[in-house]
Copies of this chain bind each other. A is one copy, B any other.
Amino acid sequence: MSVLRGLFLTSVAALAAQSAVAQDLRTDALDYFKPLPSTVPAVADNPITEEKIDLGKALFFDPRLSASGVFSCYSCHNLTTGGDDNMETSVGHGWQKGPRNSPTVLNAVFNEAQFWDGRADDLKAQAKGPIQAGVEMANTPENVVATLSSMGDYVTWFTDAFPEDGEPVSFDNMAKAIEAFEATLLTPAPFDAWLNGDDAAMTEDQVAGLGLFMDKGCVSCHSGVNIGGEGYYPFGLVEKPGADILPEGDRGRFAVTDTVDDEYVFRAGPLRNIALTAPYFHSGKVWDLKVAVQIMAESQLGEVLSDGEADQLVAFLGALTGDMPEIVTPVLPAETATTPRPSQDILPN
């Protein structure tokens, strides 16, 4: 046997061994994670149609859903920058700052519930929140419906999207259409390709990071199709981080359930596209992903990571950065004589 041929066979054997290791890791990983589906997921009580998606996209981009005319859903869930707004907490009506960091809308349809404290069951319930919040879009359902009803194209689009509804232009249907559009915002990532069997989709460091992610226990909270977004856990399970990161005034899910056990409890953050959505945590206080990983390891797992481990975990998180959906900006109808005018006034509570 020639030396060359021998070398060739050796490397084939090495590759086969490597592949077997990868296959074992994949089998383990598939116990915890699921790749993104190739189609738009079904959502509860809201059959998704093309008409709803198109209407929802128009609504998502329309600043006239806010009282001021300044903010649309897109403002804080910016589709050019990872589906969030890249600031500590969002700026809303009257330059007020919201209480928590804006989460990404990308793949949000796979979260068990919406908002950091899970107070909305789904995206259609979520969509109604910021529109009415005084510190965000500061609008009312009545004013939204009056706005949308005043424009003929919207009335047509709502009628097409909700053909069996006697009163198609409604706040509920607005929320359903926005949910339908948001359900299309999926970002398949290298990790999905790897889960689906492509060994070459992740680098060695990313694969090593995935191993650590499972071995260290990150996966106990961050699993499923969104690598998080399911289940509620106290921030500071082992050791509470400082008040700079976990401000005492925000007791998390306690505000939803009024149960002492839910103090400082939050929904596990979904980690897809996490490399694009700094700053981190509900408080938005940490800009560096490696630091965020280290804080999580200490506060949730009681584990001090080596520098190399933290780097490999960050590498793995980078494999969750997906291909952005192609979004063509919608063409919105012009206001009419009966469209309520924008008001930047700050009303007393």
Contact: B329 with A91, CB < 8 Å? no
Contact: B91 with A63, CB < 8 Å? no
Complex: how many Å from CA A81 to CA B78? 17
Neighbour of A344 across the interface among B81, B97, B276, B287, CB < 8 A = B97
Contact: A278 with B335, CB < 8 Å? yes
**A86 lies within 8 A of chain B by Cβ:** yes
* Chain B residues, Cβ within 8 Å of A85: 63, 69-70
**A7 lies within 8 A of chain B by Cβ:** no
Q: What 0/1 readout, one digit per residue, does chain A (313-349) give for beta carbons within 8 Å of chain B? A: 0000000000010111111101101000110100000
Complex: how many Å from CA A331 to CA B79? 8
Contact: A63 with B78, CB < 8 Å? yes
Contact: A344 with B69, CB < 8 Å? no
Contact: B78 with A287, CB < 8 Å? no
Neighbour of A278 across the interface among B75, B327, B334, CB < 8 A = B334
* Chain B residues, Cβ within 8 Å of A95: 94-95, 344
Contact: B61 with A86, CB < 8 Å? no
Q: A69-B85, A342-B86, A342-B87 are in contact. Are A328 and B331 (CB under 8 A)?
A: no
**A168 lies within 8 A of chain B by Cβ:** no
- Chain B residue nearest to A78 (CB atoms) is B63
Given contacts A69-B87, A324-B331, 15 further A-B contacts (CB under 8 A): A58-B80, A62-B81, A63-B81, A69-B86, A70-B85, A70-B91, A79-B329, A94-B95, A95-B95, A278-B334, A287-B341, A288-B337, A327-B329, A328-B328, A329-B329
A binding-site residues for B, Cβ under 8 Å: 58, 61-64, 68-70, 75, 78-82, 85-87, 91, 94-95, 97, 275-276, 278, 287-288, 324, 326-332, 334-335, 337, 341-342, 344
22 A-B pairs (CB sep. < 8 Å) = A61-B80, A62-B81, A63-B78, A63-B86, A64-B86, A70-B75, A70-B87, A70-B91, A79-B329, A80-B330, A82-B334, A86-B335, A95-B344, A275-B334, A278-B335, A287-B335, A287-B337, A287-B341, A324-B331, A326-B328, A327-B328, A328-B328
